[in-house]
Amino acid sequence: MGPFAKDYFSNFGKSTDFNREITRDYFHTANHHWLDVYHVDGFRYDCVPNYWDGPMGVGYASLVYETHQLTKANITAGRPYWSRFDAGAGKPLALVQMAEQLEAPEDVLRSTYSNSTWQNGTFGAARAVAQGDRGQLADLGLKLGLFGYPEREVVNGDDIPKLALQYIENHDHERFLCNFGTSNPDEAGNPLFAEGDRKRWYLLQPYLICLLMSKGIPMLWQGEEFAENHFLPDFGMGRVSLLRPMRWDFFYDESGRPILSLVRRLLQIRRRRDHIRQGTYFFFNDWDRYQRFGILLFARYDGARYTLVAVNFGDTDRAVPFWFPMAGDYAEELHGGVLDLKNIPALQQVWLNIPSHYGRVWTLK
């Protein structure tokens, strides 16, 4: 133990000192043990700034490099169970090494053997929009596409694909519903017991559509799929000392059922459309046509496979113009039927009707 890197949690004791060989050996051995004995898929490394001393350092960068090389060596040696990381000749290792480096998530992907990272950019932009800053819609549109993030790096001959998590909720923050108003069931008014107003569940819908159609790895935080509504303060012991159980009864009530239904439909769309999971993301960044009305439009595509996602964060249904790049019939994936678009010409203006606090997902048949 001893001072190293940023030491965010010095109030809990001394840091882990990666300058010492015994420390580096300890964590390398721990990783080996979890991979070899418990057959985990990989690691999510917490608070990387606490052991980040640069891309050539002896802390985090060295640990993920050594873990990658360890995995390669065990595959080559044919040791039992390590073949699970072998995706085939010429393909990258199927080993997860995910950083929580919120200060510079793009950099940790670009400069280390990490293949994924947490990032708060999408969360921050979404929260700003939810709190009334419509000007942040453009930032949200960019963050949903992970602009500025590398997609692949080749280091020392090792091909490493790169992705980032996408989320609007996690364990470090209050539930997203709290952005739309809170109430307090505690008679004494203790703010730790505040809760988001579940009668406003419908305000979550456009954010969930964006999240689950975005580029990257979408993450649903436990209970998000049925509008769990715990509050969490930004500072103090209330962040860790108050019980916040999963309230499974929310799964069945009048607020939980419609959110759960929407999440299921979105997951089905993502599962059956490869170009949404892996294709190109294009954001239609046009303030006058879209964002000033609370509309966000982006496309997911790969060759002739094309999906347009249109989301309305406003209180009013809107009709907006759009020019589809390819002619044909477009199926509306959330509800279909009369919402399908028939015989759409290429590059000619059509009007799209987007309901308030909701959205449409049109895919070329």
Say what the pLDDT of residue 81 is. Answer: 95
Cα–Cα nearest to 7, from 65, 60, 48, 64:
48
Say what the pLDDT of residue 179 is. Answer: 97
Say what the pLDDT of residue 7 is. Answer: 78
Model confidence over 243-262: pLDDT tens digits? Answer: 888 999 999 999 999 999 99
Model confidence over 312-333: pLDDT tens digits? Answer: 999 999 999 999 999 999 999 9
The answer to whether the CB of 362 falls within 8 A of the CB of 310 is yes
Cα–Cα nearest to 292, from 133, 130, 134:
134
- The amino acid sitting at 201 is W
What residues does 163 pair with on adjacent strands? 116
Say what the pLDDT of residue 156 is. Answer: 87
Antiparallel, parallel or unpaired: β 295-302 and 305-312: antiparallel
Give the CA distances from residue 202 to residues 260, 283, 292, 314, 320, in Å, rounded to whole numbers and listed in that order: 11, 24, 21, 12, 22
Cα–Cα nearest to 114, from 183, 182, 66:
66
* Dist. CA 187–CA 169, nearest whole Å: 28
H or E element in which residue 25 lies: helix 21-37
Which residue numbers in the chain have pLDDT < 50?
Answer: none
